[in-house]
Amino acid sequence: MSVDLDFDPGQQALADAVSQFCAQRWTEADARAPGPDFTRARWSELAELGVLAVGSPGEEGGALEICAVMEALGRVAFPGPLVASFVAQQVLPRDEATALAQGQRIPALGEPPLIAWAGEADLFLAWQGSTLRRAKPRGPVQTEAALGDEAWGRVELDLGEALPGAQRGLVVGELAQAAYLAAAGGRLVAAAAGHAASRRQFGRAIGEFQAVAHPLADAHIRLEAARMLARAAACSLDRKTADIALERSALALGSATGAALAAVAVSHQVFGAVGITLEGPIFPISRRIRSLASQNPGPAGNSRPRAG
């Protein structure tokens, strides 16, 4: 049985609205500005658009809507604990989930001692094996700047109560991160392809050489496959086939991570020296990909929640 993985008009309209918001509130100048790129003001504005509430239990929309917004945000490498926010809303009580959706609280999800966005967070979740638990810092968070300009933090956590819905939270986190990475990688490949079409060597555009064209084509195909895997996982979750969704979300995240990192390597090679400079055309995107690829929305090792 075939599955239509294209966005419906409502989902596409949602993605377009997010893209328009980013064009106004997250520009190239913002991405290249020195210092931390996360601000609570911009996060609150994203929440006011309804983006953070997408896919939350009891709200309109589902996992495919999460893919739609994450693809739009990934194309511009929008900053913030997006994955943690979507995961947390699947497992927390309604009032806390609402506060997250409204941008009133900032979540961090990870394993101590070094956790992404811990420097900004006021709500912590941590995996213990296949169980997702509420957590509290044992002491002050020591903020550390990371590659992607996220406010990482070094902190020890005291684990609290186990939270229900860990399996659904894991699937949502993996497909959301996969959608973001695939879109961010696609942005790099598109930029590199444009450069290859205009940059000339030996009297020809460098994109005419197989050593340039073939790696770009391979990167594009891998990213498209990862994007479709994320959407397929979302369809499975929306159709309440948990076992299939759990398998597909893991495949999607693994595929997207590998494809996005490969896109980083290929794009930097195509751009040459300018590709690795801070002022270059792709550095803000590539550093976000590398940083996000090091963050895992799920438990370490083989401690995945069982489907059922």
Q: Which residues contact 28 (CB under 8 A, 6 or more apart)?
A: 284
By mean pLDDT, which of 57-61, 91-95, 206-210 is the weakest?
57-61
Over 80: is that where the pLDDT of 251 sits?
A: yes
Distance (Å, rounded) from C-alpha 125 to C-alpha 132? Answer: 7
pTM of the model: 0.95
Distance (Å, rounded) from C-alpha 111 to C-alpha 29? Answer: 33
pLDDT tens digits along 79-89: 999 999 999 99
CB hemisphere CA count around 56 (13 angstroms):
25
Q: Which residues contact 142 (CB under 8 A, 6 or more apart)?
A: 153, 154, 155
DSSP symbols for 164-197: S-HHHHHHHHHHHHHHHHHHHHHHHHHHHHHHHH
> CATH: 1.20.120.1200, 1.20.140.10, 1.10.620.20, 3.30.565.10. Which one for 167-293?
1.20.140.10
pLDDT score, position 153:
93
Phi first, then psi, for residue 127 (nearest 5°) are: -85, 140
Distance (Å, rounded) from C-alpha 252 to C-alpha 40? Answer: 30
pLDDT band with cut points at 50, 70 and 90 for residue 171: very high
For the chain, the structural domain boundaries read 167-293
Position with higher pLDDT, 219 vs 300: 219
